Structure 1
Amino acid sequence: MSDENYVSSFWRSHNFRLEPWGNDYEPPIQISEELSLSESDVNPTVETKNWDSFESPKPRSLPNHLIFIDGRRRLDAALVGGDGNTITYGIFGTISVGAVVINRSVPQASCSQITIRRVLGFGGEQEAVLTRIPCPLGSKAELVYEPVKPSQDNTPNVRGLIVQNAMLAAEEQLVTKQIAKDGDTLVIRDGRLSYNSPDFILGYVKTMHKNYLTEKYAAFLWELAPGERSPIFLIAEKNRPRYSWYLKSGTSQINSELLGYHGLHGIVRLELSSEIPLETAKEIANQTCYLIPYYASHPSRDPRAPQNLAPVSALERELGRRMGDAILIKRRLQCFLASFGGNE
């Protein structure tokens, strides 16, 4: 059987169809970066035992080169179907990852190494097949959806997890390529570090969902002014121990008090592998006190300001543009599935 006939046979026999509520009725991806409560062992005294008298040190130097890495994901069309009387959930999705490379000595910035990938996956251990969606009107362009590893889970939530995991894996590949070769480059990944992230990658977490500090130490966060950080603490999670610290982004002119926001608005958390020397981690932490507020987005341009960084925001827009029009892509998927007929 030819590859084309095999793909047609797969879609006819499994009778997968679009689920109308899959993308519109609820937010397509409801995945928190962190759980609501930390169960990790946290040592808040690795840098100092006296948080009350801690002041953010000035960096000795700043890197001339910065690399910001981020990714986007989209659920193109939610699927439900199955062989016989079984019900299986699946997803057509698009992921994109890229980097913004900044030379601070020029200054100059550019988007680079952008990768767009379309993925197809299912729950319930259902294997997917490489699927090509032809373009109408005689064009040679086509949408190619690559199969990803199936999930054991078989609930509607598996769709978001499949696309999320594919995006994170692509980000990790890009991160590995960007390992700094010298001390004059800082690589910043938007989001938490993975279990196998290289040592000198800085994780940037802009949403707080997890309480790493007890009330005694967490009170310090309310006292932070823009450009100030907390002492470094150690998160001793199994298989992923890392240094971390909180920092308040923004400027004295654009801060939570002047904008009428919550006192913790602008607080971000950063993390580094604990495999690097503590003194090196301190110097990078001190550098972030200047670099993060400097590259913070402005409320007039980004509703997630100042937590979302301007280079990352620009990268997100470029990634979204290259992913293609969501409405047109979904129509093409509808036409593709409708061509196989079957019971609705």
Structure 2
Amino acid sequence: MSEENYVSKFWRSHNFRLEPWGNDYEPPIQISEELSLTESDVNPTVETDNWDCFQSSQARSLPNRLIFIDGRRRLDAALVGGNGNTIIYSVFGTIAVGAVVVDRTIPKASYLEPEIDIHRVVGFGGEQETVSTHIPCPLGSKAKLLYKAITRKFDNTPEVRRVIVQTAMLEAEEQLVSKLDVKDADTLVIRDGSLRYESPVFTLGYIKTMHRQYLPEKYAALLCKLLPGQRTPIFEIKNTSQYSWYLKSGDSQHSPQKLGYHDLYGIVRLELSKKNGIDRATEIANQTCYLIPYYASHPSRDPRAPQNLAPVSALERELGRRMGDAILIKRRLQSFLASFGGNE
């Protein structure tokens, strides 16, 4: 066999596909074998035991009001210090959380004001005391750089910097969700990310990155067969308070086969509190078969399409704008640290 034929055979026989999100983002598929769940961890038959030819019903109605919630985080400056032989890791970080409200009756989308909030935090690993810190700005500047102390304890590792800022962002998102007064089925809240705490009814967790395999192999096979707008049956992850299901987002014009991507391209996972009950959860799951593909981003405008939702993409840009210029802020932090004879 010639080398050319060998190479061709190799690529035909191996299921390697393009990574659509590019190198600037974490890949949407990050499944590790040790994170896979087993049948004892999941109840896949909470809605139906028919996974071979499951077809979800069309939603009887759609909510007229959607609220998309997301947050952004940024490490403004990663620090390392300590006394003697002790190394302590620290971080100055900025987080921003906000919401986009979509009125489907008009239709119109707007930012939920004044709920877009910017927080700056400073935290340390280990037992190091943390203090809120005001960073001076040039005379005449209206900017205020107050980094509030994160007082909870974290492991003292290089990764703690990301953990500190991520934790602060998730807590800010939880506070925003708790402020929303959503008591009727005409409003659906879609939160970018997993529902880590007991969540209000009518709040969806929207997970666009696959970190673990939640379904045993015989059920997971359905994921590669889904077409845009189709979902799996609802399943229950035991020892949690959420139902969950997978859904294929995007449209038929941008199928994985046409783009050279893996069959899991466009797959997202959704979570919903069990407090809704299985009948209501089924109706909401059916609604997502229309809503998620409808608000999916387009590959020409978002490198994380279609998993990243268009309203969330717009919110991310606005949050980034309000977080301030990263280069200027880092210079302020550098000047502040240099004033004490330290190094960045």
Shorter-chain TM-score bucket reads: 0.7 to 0.9
- Contact 2:266 2:307 survives alignment (8 Å): yes
Aligned length: 316
Unmatched segments (≥5 aa) in structure 1: 1-26
Residue of structure 2 in register with 1:74 after alignment = 74
What does 1:69-108 align with in structure 2 at a 5 Å threshold? Answer: 69-108=69-108
Q: Give, in whole Å, the separation in 2 of the partners of 1:254 and 1:280.
A: 31
RMSD over aligned CA atoms reads 2.2
* Residue 197 (structure 1) aligns with: 199
- Which residue of the partner structure matches residue 307 of structure 1? 307
Alignment of 1:163-178 (within 5 A): 163-178=165-180
8 Å CA contact 2:37–2:216 kept in 1: the answer is no
Cα–Cα, structure 1 residues 246 and 133, in superposed 2: closer, same or farther, change >3 Å? same
Matches within 5 A, 1:112-151: 112=112, 113-151=115-153
Partner of 2:276: 276
Distance 2:82 2:52 in 1: 60
- In structure 2, the partner of 1:217 is 219
What residue number does 1:9 align with? none
Is the contact between residue 30 and residue 212 of structure 2 (CA under 8 Å) also seen in structure 1? Answer: no
Distance 1:307 1:257 in 2: 17
Deviations 1:186-244 (A, max 9, x none): 0000000012222331000001121111111111111111000000000013xx23111
Deviations 1:28-75 (A, max 9, x none): 999x99876234710001111111121021000000000000000000
Superposed displacement of residue 111, structure 1:
1.3
Question: Aligned partner of 1:104: which letter?
Answer: R
* Cα deviation 1:125-171 (Å, max 9, x = unaligned): 21211111111244253311000124341011100000000000000
Residue identity opposite 1:61 in structure 2: S
Q: Counterpart amino acid of 2:36?
A: S
**1:309/1:125 Cα in 2 relative to 1: closer, same or farther (>3 Å)?**
same
Identify if the C-alpha distance between structure 1 residues 258 and 196 changes in structure 2 by more than 3 Å, giving closer, same or farther.
same
Using the alignment, how far apart are the partners of 2:163 and 2:30 within structure 1? 12
1:332 counterpart residue number: 332
3-state SS of 1:136 partner: coil
Q: Deviations over 1:6-43 (max 9, x none)?
A: xxxxxxxxxxxxxxxxxxxxx9999x998762347100
Identity %: 70
SS at match of 1:170: helix
Equivalent residue number for residue 226 of structure 1: 228
Q: Does residue 316 of the first structure (1) align with residue 340 of the second (2)? A: no
Asked if 2 retains the 8 angstrom alpha-carbon contact of 1:199 and 1:273, the reply is yes
Contact 2:31 2:213 (C-alpha < 8 Å) held by counterparts: no
* 1: CA distance, partners of 2:251 / 2:55: 17
Gaps of 5+ in 2: 1-23
- 3-state DSSP of counterpart to 2:275: coil
Task: Give the 3-state SS of the residue equivalent to 1:212 in structure 2.
Answer: coil
Number of the residue aligned with 2:7: none
Q: Deviations over 1:248-284 (max 9, x none)?
A: 0011222222222111100000011122210000000
Q: Find the residue that maps to 1:234 and give its secondary structure.
A: strand
Whole-Å Cα distance in 1 between the matches of residues 67 and 310 of structure 2?
13
- For 2:36, the equivalent position in structure 1 comes to 38
Tell me, what secondary structure is at the counterpart of 1:195?
coil
